[in-house]
Amino acid sequence: MQAALQAAYLFRAGEMLQQDVDEAGEGSWRDPRVRWGLACMAQRYLCGGREGQVSPPGPPGPEWLPAALAERLVVCLSSSCFGDPLLAAHLALALARGANPVVRLQVWNGLAAESALHLLPPLQRCLGPVELYLGQQPPSATGAASAAGGADPGLDPALLGAVQRSLVEGDLERAMLPPPDAVAADPAAEPCTAAPGEGASAAAASGVSPSLCSPNRCSSVAADVALQLLAHTLLHRESWPALERVWRRGPGTGGNGGGAAAGDGAGDRGSGSSAGSGVADGNTGEDGGASAGGEAASAARVVPAAVALLGGLVRSAPAEAVARLVLYGEARCGLRREESAAVLAQTCAGETALRERVRRVLVLCGLV
């Protein structure tokens, strides 16, 4: 599989097939025979497991997408291949839940750096079933507690921080837009910003981002992976202890431990100067300064990682992006928007500016 990908996308066409002079600088990925062969190999070796399972890059078995090859293919996707959907589908497998964490983080950071996260195919056109990328989905909102209660065994704080950064910096803006056929193919979809039955025109007239009009459909699987990871980890309180345990392990796990990657999140959770400072101040202010030791105790208090990350997200990300996260959590993860709104309100209640931003999110979600 490695040799096929290299031959199709990285080798010079003139070294493999006799072509015209003006095609000498391009790979052979345009040739229908090469594309057919690559698709057949993917079907046989990546999708030919038991019960149609797909093999993401990583153990067990030899890795078909090592880090060095992944880095070159990411650059190729955003430059010479112009977002080729066949290559994009292979790279999307690197974001699967069972993929190698190193390759997964590298592919995500590479696509974000190239502003190419939106070039990955939508979830419905990826190799393999939806569960490969998002895990088992709860049958309904009432089943969210049991279905989403356990921690993701592959939770990587470095990836969590990278995903949060991408949402804050707008790298996922185009990826979160619904596919053009989303509304036509899903008659049940309705804009979250409008009252039931008002239709998509109401959302457009209100000037709200189009990404809020179909919360369970994204034009790129990158947005699905990001929103599912953030919603499950930050908006679901039962996931907080597991995140805290992983975060405390430090730089030895999950790449860089997530501290630096979190950006506005949990890098300085105990200092009260980062995203969670408003929460820390709000929680310690009521305890009062009855004695000189009260200040020392409040200074030593550590803000939970989830609270710091969530506070940083609300502080720095556009309100439309946070609202999209809340609505996606309801549509895909079974997390009721009222419960997610309560988590946002409680964790960001220590600072007036954050409360105003949360209120804007609630308005976009139709809760105010």
The pLDDT tens digits for 139-158 are 544 444 434 434 454 588 89
The secondary structure of residue 122, as a DSSP letter, is P
Predicted TM-score (pTM) of the model is 0.76
**Alpha helices, DSSP H, located in the chain:** 2-9, 13-16, 32-41, 67-78, 85-92, 101-113, 131-134, 144-147, 157-169, 182-185, 200-205, 221-230, 240-248, 277-285, 292-300, 305-316, 319-332, 337-347, 352-364
Residue spans of the domains in the chain: they are 2-135, 147-177+218-364
* pLDDT confidence of residue 12: 64
Q: Amino acid identity of 298?
A: S
* pLDDT confidence of residue 53: 63
Averaged pLDDT in 10-residue chunks for the chain of 368 residues: 85 56 61 88 72 61 80 89 91 89 93 95 89 72 41 74 94 89 51 39 45 76 94 92 83 41 41 36 40 42 83 92 92 90 85 89 88
pLDDT digits (tens, 9 = 90+) for 76-122: 998 888 889 999 999 999 998 888 899 999 999 999 999 999 999 99
* pLDDT confidence of residue 13: 58
Q: What is the Cα–Cα distance from 189 to 132, expressed in whole angstroms?
A: 24
335 contact partners, CB below 8 Å, separation of at least 6 = 141, 144, 148, 231, 235, 236, 329
The secondary structure of residue 181, as a DSSP letter, is T
* pLDDT confidence of residue 150: 41
